[in-house]
Structure 1
Amino acid sequence: MPIIRVIDGINETVGRIVSIVAIVFAAIIIYDVFMRYFLGEPTRWAFDLTKQLYGFYFIMLGGYALRHQSHVKVDLLTERLAPGIRRWVEAAGYVIFFFPFAWVFARRSFDFAMTSYNQGELTYGAVQLPVYPLKMAMFVAAVLLLIQGVSEFLKLVLNKADHLEPQEPMDVR
């Protein structure tokens, strides 16, 4: 289905772009360590900035992780079920648990971000950075997670969930 390809493509692209943030915050940490221990000139901004970048990195990869089935699951209950039954149990899980949670996450994070933006919220660190961009990223991440849930649900309902089928053992010769 085109909608599945579009949603999967969006989260794949976001995941690949956001993964670059890990390189950026690692470089900032290395720079700060170098400045602190080798030149005796610690930065005032690096700790706060890397905290925000890590938060951005962590939250924005939720949809990407769901696309690649990297979230924690309770497979103990479903691993012995036939693939068809397991598919419908997982689909019911999306309806009962995932979609309500994702909706609340999106709605509350939007309110959270707007409150932060309207108040001009800043960090408490040595360098006061605006907080609202990170809180707005929470909302975007919630939407990405929600739409990826739609894609995964459609795959289950349309029997396109290849992650449910038994996998062939890898040949490691």
Structure 2
Amino acid sequence: MPILAWIVRAISGVNRLVGETLSWLALACVLVCFTVVVQRYFFNTSTLWMQDLYVWLSGAMFTGVAGYALLRDDHVRVDIFYRPASLKRKAMADLFGVIVFLFPFIYVVFHYGWPAVARSWSYYEASGNIGGMPGLFVLKSFIIVFGVLVGLQGLAMALRAILVLADQQDLLPEHLRYKRDVDLETAL
């Protein structure tokens, strides 16, 4: 069981590092977009590659931080059953969700994404806009990054659920454990 806890910590650490790093792309996206707007409306000029850049930055950011969002439990969830559930029921729900929904989804992402990314790399695909940015193949690679990071975080979720079901959650640091809903517990 300690090895499972180590794997959960390692995967979560990778996703935290990638997520906190790539989240800075939001600032870059805003700055580039602001520059494009100033160019267009104050100087009556525009550079197409900059218009591509802020769209590409946002695409890279959102696909790259998806595993981090899963780590932070920032995804959409219907909480009417999950929120009041015991830790073991939450663990069973997460384990079921990862195995039945997340892993097949990751398979689909790789099954259809890999050929598209490989094709894009084979001819170093660039923007479809004349004067646009080169290197669209790099951006398309974030499809694979998305699949790897979300798949790994799904594995970490499944292993965490197994630790909870085996009454070994205390092997995990506090920030990786299931949170108890204090407001709900005091209301009951």
TM-score computed with the length of structure 1 as normaliser:
0.87
The 3-state SS of whatever aligns with 1:163 is coil
* Aligned position for 2:24: 20
Rounded to whole Å, the distance in 2 between the matches of 1:44 and 1:72 is 35
- After superposition, give the CA deviation of every residue in 1:23-59 in whole Å (9 maximum; x if it has no partner): 1111111112222222222222211111111111111
For structure 1, the 5+ residue unaligned runs are: none
Aligned residues: 169
**What amino acid is the match of 1:74?**
V
Q: What SS does structure 2 have at the residue aligned with 1:122?
A: coil
2:116 corresponds in structure 1 to: 112
Kept after mapping to 2: 8 A contact 1:116/1:135: yes
Match of 2:7 among 3, 7, 12: 3
Matching residue's letter, 2:162: V
Which residue is 1:92 aligned to?
96
Give the CA deviation at 1:80: 4.4
Structure 1 residues 56 and 152: alpha-carbon distance in aligned structure 2, compared to 1, 3 A threshold: same
Partner of 1:82: 86
Question: Paired residue for 1:54?
Answer: 58
Alignment equivalent of 1:130, drawn from 112, 135, 140: 135
Deviation at 1:127, TM superposition (A): 2.0
Q: 1:71 aligns with which of 41, 60, 75?
A: 75
Q: Name the counterpart of 1:154.
A: 159
Q: Are the counterparts in 2 of residues 48 and 127 from structure 1 also a CA contact under 8 Å?
A: no
Of the two structures, which has the highest relative contact order with CA contacts closer than 8 Å and spacing of 6 or more?
2
Q: Percent identity?
A: 27
